[in-house]
Amino acid sequence: MDDLEVRCTDDPNRALNEADAYLRRNPVEHNTVLSLLHERRRSAGPGRYWTVIDGGRVVGVAVQAPVGMPIQLTAMPSEAARALATTIPGDLPLPGVIGPAGTAAVCAGTCSELRSERVQVSSGQRLYRLAEPVPCTGVPGTLRQARQGDRDLLVPWMREFVAETDAPTPAEPDELFARFLAVDSLYVWEDDGVVSMARATPASAGVSRIGYVFTPSGLRGCGYASACVGVLSQHLRDTAGLDCVLYTELANRTSNRLYRRLGYRAVAEVLGYEFAPVEEAC
């Protein structure tokens, strides 16, 4: 890779124009980056976008949206990940990087050296794709889209979800609820009242990512989350022909088993790294 070029822009339209064809070639593994770019194009919020080009051909993409979030990476060759890291300004607030295990490790290691900051693994996740749906039966209730009247219940649930998963979030839960409702992407499972929730991102290149899966502690163990995700996945597949993907924490044996039972199959391992000034390590 003797002709590497890293282009950076704050315009998601420019980044999409450069990288859309590359991202669409592998829409399952590229879904997070692709959907973030589409979301920023819709919302016009601030962000930074990097495209790594080798001899005129895109070989990697990175997104920080909004500014202040960890940088999301696609898989890319090690040389490309190092080149990307060298172009990130040393004074740019950089809480971390997230991406396919090999790429994230190279990018995080290079950033750590260049910025003289301590780096450590902050999360380990697995990307799953729905391969062979398994009907979810035996759980009472029905799926429906969330509505404005669910706000007082679901916003605190989102807050609990963030606290339990320690997931980086681009906005406060009340703002996220409004965003999700605006694009009809939030769903609930109802069994004599709302008992579980899940979100499905708007489709990007035929793929929707399911997340924010949450059941309050007093209602767990009844199969509500499994039913919510299973029926939602089947709905997206049957009505819109979408591929469904989701992430699990590697350490959460329950969720990994649950999604495999629903027909999801592992695609890739994803690692998150976080940075901190060296003096804070003492």
Q: Where are the domains of the chain?
A: 4-126+270-281, 133-262
> Is the CATH code 3.40.630 the one for domain 4-126+270-281?
yes
Q: What is the pLDDT, as a whole number, of residue 68?
A: 84
pLDDT digits 0-9 by tens, 96-129: 999 999 999 999 999 999 999 999 999 999 999 9
Q: What is the pLDDT, as a whole number, of residue 250?
A: 94
As a whole number of angstroms, the distance between CA 228 and CA 215 comes to 10
106-to-5, 7, 156, 175, 253 alpha-carbon distances in Å: 17, 19, 37, 34, 27
Q: Do domains 4-126+270-281 and 133-262 have the same CATH topology?
A: yes
Q: How sure is the predictor about 90, in pLDDT bands with cuts at 50, 70 and 90?
A: confident
As a whole number of angstroms, the distance between CA 201 and CA 245 comes to 10
**In this structure, what token pair is assigned to residue 166?**
């320690």
With a cut of 50, say whether residue 133 has pLDDT above it: yes
> Is the CATH code 2.40.100.10 the one for domain 133-262?
no
Instruction: Provide the β-strand partners of residue 96.
Output: 274
Q: What is the pLDDT, as a whole number, of residue 281?
A: 44
Mean pLDDT highest for which of 37-46, 61-70, 183-192? 183-192
As a whole number of angstroms, the distance between CA 217 and CA 185 comes to 23
Q: What is the pLDDT, as a whole number, of residue 1?
A: 65
